[in-house]
Structure 1
């Protein structure tokens, strides 16, 4: 029986992939049991569905009952979308006596940095086709980046067991998110760790991904998740090539819009969880740090004609695979983490 359960809730684009890779490969050496699966997104996705919830949480409980590690971690950034009350019910039903203690942790990135990272991810996987300015008009962007009410729901259900930590290298234990997370879980700094990074793509990679998804074109709804899986795999391949990248940056007008949209949320989140108002300070600093004019993400501005022809060819081929009977399921199985 495990000693303590830690639920790592995300957020998206706050080092979750690196943490999950580390837990899978090195967690047991630190006394942390990490149940099977690269991440535990199926648990988060099952919460609104009683039968699926019973299955997934029952299997997870069986895994943890067989471990005598001092700590166990369930990790999925997909909990960002979950109802805390559903999670509390699932834990009470399936893991009532398996832990001495339970804690929950969510990392939060300052709004300007989060906006850029989330846009890059959405563009990479093909879930958003618009430009950087238009991302702020996408309804789910504001909903997901309005932190205070979402975190308040978690606090209301789990009380002092729920913790929010700032995603900022200068605030991490040892300047490393892995050391910071391990220190939170175990109470001991494990020292320098090997980081398997999942960096945000730069302009050149984003241009390539946009050309790729443009070639794939519109897909039926049932193929959407396979497109996202394919986009994540494309991102991993581009990272492995270690290509030279121009960082994605805000421009001044957009930075000012972000201040207007999120300044109340930054202040409320700071007041609830942080000293010295780091979210408010990062947001207020954004316009002065921004570019004067927007950057171009058009493939034609970053790729030569031969590269565009090649990526269009591969995008067309992948479209045929994705719309073929059973094709999207095969792509998801082949390329998922």
Structure 2
């Protein structure tokens, strides 16, 4: 009796280590194939198979967050090519594709219908759908950070969640609805994305374990996060830059300088020998108690003194101070550039004046170059 070939669809969710996982799968394609798990070679770009999802979304009329998708092939062509490659595998082997863009189909019924039409032509294959989910608020905060980092003008966090983010980002039932209806609930492999999975090879081991595979002994694993989260303290600055009209390169330079400024401040604040605020607070309170015991303390409002003991800045105050410091630095940078440009203009004007005075029409050298 023959064993059906299997097609595994890893559909995300966004911000659940998908980029790191996709790079791992592509880097270890040969080793994984030896275990019967084949990471599809087409249509792959940047280690992922987003063309399969984008082709469906494009055909459904979706235009937002398509990341300049230009693949000329139709959804039917791309999916049929994948089915053909899967059927060519040895008996019992699995084909695996991965893209967090798949999760968007829950927000676009027309794209779901197109997917169903393709899957109906491949019922000779077995299917599994893998999805990672994290607590909704954690996910929303991380996705908001990603959108701002990408340069998308989404407004405030509240406005983005309510009006700019597709509902699949907070309604997980909607996100999984197409996949359950097309493949059946038994085909869905649900995994929890937890912070601990970021440590070592945790994510890779968890993903493979969910599919019944182990981590290859000689697997190549990355040591650096390929899609690091932008420092949340820079969100407000980046949002302003997204609306400033500056080029993406210029915006990145500003953010890089701002991050360097915050890192330098953090290094300055890392005081190892100085007392902590708990100690400072206790000493201040003990001093007030000692003063209250003095004979002439009747006129001292010790209750008011104790109500305002030393304490570190709260998060909001600290954020505002850091933002002002960073923006002040950027203003100083802009002022320096402005002064340099003014000096250059002044020198050019002198050269033009000399040329006109000489009647040659050719610019003369400025005073400091003569």
**1:25-80 CA-partner distances (Å, limit 9, x unpaired):** 11321223332313221111222529821122133334445554932211111111
Shift of the 196–60 alpha-carbon distance from structure 1 to 2, 3 Å rule, reads farther
CA distance, structure 1, for counterparts of residue 21 and residue 55 of structure 2: 22
Partner SS for 1:178: helix
2:100 counterpart of 1:77: yes
Q: Once the 2 structures are TM-superposed, how far is the Cα of residue 85 of structure 1 from its aligned partner?
A: 4.3
Aligned position for 1:203: 232
2:330 counterpart of 1:302: no
Match of 2:204 among 178, 197, 202: 178
CA distance, structure 1, for counterparts of residue 10 and residue 27 of structure 2: 17
Match of 1:41 among 33, 50, 59: 50
CA distance, structure 2, for counterparts of residue 301 and residue 113 of structure 1: 28
Spell out the pairing of 1:278-297 with structure 2 (5 A cutoff). Answer: 293=316, 295=319
Q: Once the 2 structures are TM-superposed, how far is the Cα of residue 172 of structure 1 from its aligned partner?
A: 8.9
Aligned position for 2:243: 214
The structure with the largest helix share of the pair is 1
Shift of the 73–214 alpha-carbon distance from structure 1 to 2, 3 Å rule, reads same
Aligned position for 1:151: 176
Shift of the 54–129 alpha-carbon distance from structure 1 to 2, 3 Å rule, reads closer
Aligned position for 2:114: 86
CA distance, structure 2, for counterparts of residue 75 and residue 88 of structure 1: 18
Contact 2:168 2:175 in 1 (8 A): no
Q: Once the 2 structures are TM-superposed, how far is the Cα of residue 20 of structure 1 from its aligned partner?
A: 1.0
Contact 2:153 2:242 in 1 (8 A): no
Partner SS for 2:28: helix
Q: Once the 2 structures are TM-superposed, how far is the Cα of residue 10 of structure 1 from its aligned partner?
A: 0.7
The two structures have a TM-score, normalised by structure 2, of 0.55
Measured on the aligned residues, the alpha-carbon RMSD in Å equals: 4.2
**1:149-175 CA-partner distances (Å, limit 9, x unpaired):** 332442232211012211114479987
Stretch moving more, 150-159 or 72-81:
150-159
Rg larger in 1 or in 2? 2
Aligned position for 2:7: 5
The two structures have a TM-score, normalised by structure 1, of 0.60
CA distance, structure 2, for counterparts of residue 58 and residue 308 of structure 1: 55
CA distance, structure 2, for counterparts of residue 194 and residue 107 of structure 1: 20
Aligned position for 1:55: 77
Spell out the pairing of 1:12-27 with structure 2 (5 A cutoff). Answer: 12-27=14-29
CA distance, structure 1, for counterparts of residue 316 and residue 15 of structure 2: 25
Partner SS for 1:130: coil
Match of 1:136 among 161, 185, 202: 161
**1:92-126 CA-partner distances (Å, limit 9, x unpaired):** 32x444x4x32001111101211210110111112
Contact 1:9 1:106 in 2 (8 A): yes
CA distance, structure 1, for counterparts of residue 210 and residue 150 of structure 2: 31
CA distance, structure 1, for counterparts of residue 4 and residue 238 of structure 2: 43
CA distance, structure 1, for counterparts of residue 154 and residue 213 of structure 2: 43
Structure showing greater relative contact order (alpha-carbon pairs closer than 8 Å, 6 or more residues apart): 1
Stretch moving more, 205-214 or 2-11:
205-214
Structure 2 gaps, min length 5:
61-72, 266-313, 339-370
Contact 2:104 2:175 in 1 (8 A): no
Contact 2:39 2:97 in 1 (8 A): no
**1:268-312 CA-partner distances (Å, limit 9, x unpaired):** xxxxxxxxxxxxxxxxxxxxxxx86484599655352268749x9
Q: Once the 2 structures are TM-superposed, how far is the Cα of residue 183 of structure 1 from its aligned partner?
A: 1.9
